[in-house]
A and B are shown apart, each in its own frame.
Chain A
């Protein structure tokens, strides 16, 4: 069964998902070097008090990423 891919930026605190693809090549290279690879599990740890950026847990550490950057990452929900 294939799940619909959504933008990472649309997730809420506590949600978890799997990285599906990137819609920006430059950001893709940077994130992949940091260990955010397609297939990797991502957990939204929290949003900043003003709603942006978001803190995500991926590959054993925490990343801070702006919502407009997170919107370039397509993810599928994980249960």
Chain B
């Protein structure tokens, strides 16, 4: 026995696959992409036991996307085929674990039977045995084992029951399945035998999978001569794939039906009260269904705003205290400046938003885990279709509320190419969590903290309004694109509506950890880098003017303490104006003046192209440089104290704040989104178009609002 084995986890959607994956690997999991495609690849390590010599035996588990069959209908579903049927695949398993929903055994066995016929070691994990009792179904596990000719382990992934037995089964040397599930030769005659001569396999079914899907399998794309032989054979036999697949499917279900007669007993046909149907009567009701959905959205945004406030304040105070501490310990100079105003300012700007992101994904994970997301799709499909979208688009769109990057990745579940492209085009209009910092900051500046009718937080209400604006803009844009985008191959909407289940807290916890990690490390490194670059840009400048100002500053410092603070501030502010950043902001000021923006906002607009939340970090840096460093006020207070140099009135009026919020609502200021859109559509055309149309929308909206309200 090797000390490390490759295990693939496959199963139908909603079969509890990710719960089993979490139960096996816990926190030992990584998320990446499968090579060449942007389908999420979750891998994890699980210690199975010890070898006789005392060494740990580990299983490297790959969680493959959920599918009903090895024949792919979408890019996600290509992965199980490519991993299981391609000996060249990096993840090609030593053992395949098929997870089956025991309460839906017939359909689960279909996929399992295909994998059995590949003639590689396989274990069947029978999940959700707990649901059987309620339905008066009994499964004879031993008879099933006998009939399938493979190991069968009953488990309850939610409670962790049977996990130890499953690990034990993975440790024992597994033979290839003892007999074929269906006789392929009875369908295609000796065609399969001839294919087997081209590719070295012991399985007639693997040979047939190769015939049907060779374009997707790298074994053939990297061996052109084999591919040509295969194509010649297909022509020679006049082999028709759909007719064969149809026959194969029927034959498999015939065998499964027969098998279930011997292994499954349904003792009482009269089913008891169906809880799911009762709940659905309410949740898909024409009035209550939509009311409930709106209530859920309302609850999410209210709690993000008020609940997240507490940890955010702690972080804020913590960073202020820490900056102060560093300033008191280190001598003043470039290093201290870089640390406090460059690195720490950037770090604070990232970490402070973790509570909000965690809370948001807490809710999204619950909606998904309970099965409610599928109902959202069900009640929204008709509406979404009017806008050129799809009931399934609601999931990327709602995820877009957190971040457009994973949301665009999740559009892969939309099979219609046109619907998918439109969803990608409009998803960045949804207000993502990176805009949240910008909204939070600006709302707290221009909207008073007060409650409406005693219980509705007014700031929360305005925030919800910003989210609604984003959503409506996305729908409007989708409606326009519906007429501009050409239709591709017909796709189907058909999907399962799972039964309601209690959320699994460990799944939700792991999902939050994963999303926060992605935010901290993917967005985080950009933010820190930008923060440092910005510190350089705003601390140094070209030409004599900047040098003179620097001299003036040094002289001021030398001359002692009786210099009025105002003069010192003025020098600082002049210095910033003369810096590289100030020059860039000034250069673009004429273009953004009609929107109510000054050159400081101009700088923020440039830097936050990297990611919108950089706006806050930029403002922190600009204002901590522009003011004296002894008094570490929060960036908000500093911005609010800013006066318009011409009128002497506060710089951030209601009109400026709203105009700025709208600009951030519409403009595609996120290079990660552009990069993902490029990867997902295969060209720069789509992201460049997105950037242009969203930028135009932003400029016009801000212009109109500022000119009307100023």
Contacts and interface: CB of A to CB of B under 8 A. Distances in A.
Interface of A: 25-35, 37, 45-46, 48-53, 55, 59-66, 69
A67 to B, nearest CB: 9
Contacts of B498: 61-62
Interface of B: 68-69, 71, 73, 103-104, 106-107, 110, 242, 245-246, 249-250, 253, 276-277, 280-281, 284-286, 289-290, 374, 377-379, 381-383, 391, 490, 492-499
A30 B415 CA distance: 12
Nearest to A49: B286
Given A37-B250, A52-B381, A59-B107, A29 B245 contact: yes
Contact of A69 (B71, B103, B107, B494): B494
B107 A48 contact: no
Contacts of B383: 50
B242 A29 contact: yes
Contact of A30 (B73, B103, B280, B499): B73
Given A32-B250, A53-B378, A59-B107, A46 B280 contact: yes
SS class, residues of chain A in contact with chain B: mixed
Contacts of B249: 29, 32-33, 37
B106 A64 contact: no
A62 B494 contact: no
B246 A65 contact: no
The 4 A-B pairs of least Cβ separation, nearest first, read A49-B286, A50-B382, A33-B69, A62-B497
B382 A48 contact: yes
Contacts of A31: 494
Nearest to B415: A30
A65 B495 CA distance: 7
SS class, residues of chain B in contact with chain A: helix
A63 B497 CA distance: 6
A31 B73 CA distance: 11
B14 to A, nearest CB: 9
Given A34-B494, A53-B382, A63-B494, 18 more contacts: A25-B242, A25-B246, A27-B492, A30-B494, A33-B249, A45-B277, A45-B280, A52-B382, A53-B381, A53-B391, A55-B497, A60-B106, A61-B496, A62-B496, A62-B497, A63-B495, A64-B378, A66-B492
Most buried by A among B68, B110, B497: B497
B639 to A, nearest CB: 45
B496 A53 contact: no
Given A32-B249, A63-B495, A65-B494, A49 B242 contact: no
B245 A63 contact: no
A65 B377 CA distance: 11
Nearest to B111: A33
B71 A33 contact: yes
Given A33-B110, A34-B494, A63-B497, A49 B381 contact: no
B280 A64 contact: no
Given A49-B286, A63-B494, A34 B68 contact: yes
